[in-house]
Amino acid sequence: MSSAKGVQLITYVDRLGRGNISGLRELLNEQLKDVFDGVHLLPFFYPIDGEDAGFDPIDHTMVDNRLGNWADIGALGANMAIMADMIVNHMSAQSPQFQDVLAKGEASEFWPLFLTRDKVFAPDQLNQIPNIYRPRPTPCFSDITLKNGDTVPFWTTFTSNQIDIDVTSGQGQAYLEKILSAFAQNNVDLIRLDAAGYAIKKPGTNCFMIEETFDFIEQLSQEAHRRNMQCLVEIHSYYKTQIDIAKRCDMVYDFALPPLVLHSLFTQNPTALAKWLAIAPRNCVTVLDTHDGIGIVDVGPEGDKPGLLSAAEIDALVEQIHINSNGQSREATGAAASNVDLYQVNCTYYDALGANDQAYLIARAIQFFSPGIPQVYYGGLFAAQNDMALLNQTNVGRDINRPYLSDSDINHALQKPVVKALIALIRLRNTLEALEGKFMVSATGQLITLEWVGSGCRAALEIDFSTLSAVINYSQQDAQHSVDVSVAGLAG
């Protein structure tokens, strides 16, 4: 894997600029030259425009030819780290394999590839189904009628077009091996294991991040390591569970960070943020925004166990997002829009902060000074606001934060002071030698300091939430520097 530790970009290929891989490579080599050390390419497999924006692949080993081909991926990865999604839990109902199952039933050679209710639960175990952990309000099974007239309850964790794979079967293992080989041959460095927490189902459990799931992730990671790749596990869960997961895998997301940063800015109280940063996993990827919503479950309580924020604090946080976005996030969240998770608020991060440039730059500074490798979503890079037109067109809640940005949109955004300042902040972060050293955090009242100390170098982010002011003080190569975290201070 690439040793790049600098800031990375998260983007769809088809929703940015020219909408293809070669165009993205040009963007990263020209207007965004030397800004990013790597890029997470959201699903580029065939097709990119299925029911779940590429997360329901018909062919996981085929680049959608509207974007380019594997050679284009390899070329992009020649001078920067590439992350690709490995969708381990499911595949499209439109895939040739599942279509063969529909036509031939149990006589299909692909019957072992897909998971049905009855492969997991015996008839006397069906009363356990309510114990299954559900990320969505829909049932976890879809009754699908085969050509012979039989109706089979297939396991569909997410949508009825995403049929769960039996990853324990020989067919399932061969399917995953084929994807790994395609990645390894085309300069992919890091694999994001999408929905890995749901991959193993077992009676008597909640079928989410059970012990056998850890074993599955470890085995898959070993196969990736043999091909010089590492795995990032994508799990939304209770914060102590996240800490435990981090001990058993290459990397995890710090999904607690986005809501805690918002809470600190909304309340002018960084106590919860400081508590988390003191104990958060160090082998993490940090984000504020992604192609999904702003997660809430990651800071909440679990049963009678307290969370990083209380239920009342979370309610206030969500309500403030709705207020800051002028109610737009409310239209895109929960029952108001389809295909949403129960634990996420759909809104751009910029609009969650009321399009306040200063608050937004401070939020990014916190992300960049927190332990881990930072990733910036393409919408966040360009300080995009909620795409209500796209939301109204698709009625998919997450589309509020999945805009299509043309070359003209990009060129316009690059002239915005807040975007210029953010890019300057990214460049600064990538040069700070101290960020390879020891991390410390302290908070008193409305003040917080995130400090790194290395060999002969130091870098500290100091924030006063009461005045919404922040400064970066750093020393390296025997020189002292001070930079205000503001539009004027960064890009003036």
Superfamily of domain 96-164: Oligo-1,6-glucosidase; Domain 2 (3.90.400.10)
Listed as own residue / partner, the contacts of 28-32 with beta carbons closer than 8 Å and 24 or more positions apart are 28/76, 28/80, 31/410, 31/411, 31/414, 32/423
What are the tokens at 397? 């809640």
Q: For the residues of 20-45, what is the DSSP string, one character each?
A: SHHHHHHHHHTTTTTT-SEEEE---E
Helix (H) or strand (E) holding 81: strand 81-87
Per-residue pLDDT tens for 205-233?
999 999 999 999 999 999 999 999 999 99
Locate 249 and state its tokens: 């895998």
Concatenated DSSP letters for 337-364? SBS--TTEE-S-HHHHTTT-HHHHHHHH
CB 359 within 8 A of CB 271: no
Distance (Å, rounded) from C-alpha 463 to C-alpha 400? 30
pLDDT in the model for residue 335: 65
First to last CA, the chain: 37
Q: Which two tokens stand for residue 253?
A: 């997301």
DSSP-derived 3-state class of residue 95: coil
Superfamily of domain 8-88+168-435: Glycosidases (3.20.20.80)
237 contacts: CB under 8 Å, gap ≥ 6: 197, 209, 245, 297, 298
- Measure the CA–CA gap between 382 and 389, rounded to whole angstroms: 18
User: Given the structure tokens 């997961």, which residue do they identify?
Assistant: 245
**Helices within 152-293 (DSSP H only):** 170-184, 211-226, 239-246, 257-267, 271-279
Q: Which residues pair with 473 in a beta bridge?
A: 460, 482
Query: 């019957």: which residue's tokens?
Result: 111
Q: What per-residue confidence (pLDDT) applies to 91? A: 96
Q: In the chain, what are the domain boundaries?
A: 8-88+168-435, 96-164, 436-491
Return phi, psi of residue 483, to 5°. -130, 125
Q: What parts of the chain have a pLDDT lower than 70? A: 1-4, 335-342, 492
Residue 64: predicted pLDDT: 97
Report the 10 Å Cβ neighbour count for 150.
Answer: 10
Choose the CATH number for 436-491 among 2.60.40, 1.10.10, 1.10.287, 2.20.220. Answer: 2.20.220
Q: What distance in Å separates the CA atoms of residue 419 and residue 171, rounded to the nearest whole number?
A: 47
Q: Which residue type does 20 have?
A: N
**Measuring CA to CA, how many Å separate 61 from each of 70, 88, 175?**
9, 13, 10
Residue 138 is predicted with a pLDDT of: 84
76: nearest Cα among 6, 8, 142:
8
CA atoms within 13 A on the CB side of 60: 26
Closest alpha carbon to 189 in 146, 225, 154, 230: 230
Identity of the residue numbered 223:
E
Tell me how crowded residue 441 is: count the other CB atoms within 10 A of its CB: 21
Residue 400's alpha-carbon distances to 184, 312, 332, 340, 387, in angstroms, are 33, 26, 7, 12, 5
Residue 276 has φ and ψ, to the nearest 5°, of -65, -45
Residue 53's pLDDT is 86
Q: Cβ(192)–Cβ(89) under 8 Å?
A: no
User: What span, in angstroms and rounded, lies between the C-alpha atoms of 445 and 210?
Assistant: 40
- Position 129 scores a pLDDT of 95
**Rg of the chain in Å (alpha carbons):** 22
* Lookup result for tokens 């049929």: 163
Q: pTM of the entire structure?
A: 0.95
Q: Are 344 and 296 in contact (CB under 8 A)?
A: yes
pLDDT in tens, 76-132: 999 899 999 999 999 999 999 999 999 999 999 999 999 999 999 999 999 999 999
Cα four-point dihedral sign 324, 426, 261, 257: positive
Length of the chain: 492
Catalytic residue annotation:
194, 234
Tokens for 165, please give them: 């794979």
CB atoms within 10 A of CB 42: 25
CB atoms within 10 A of CB 186: 19
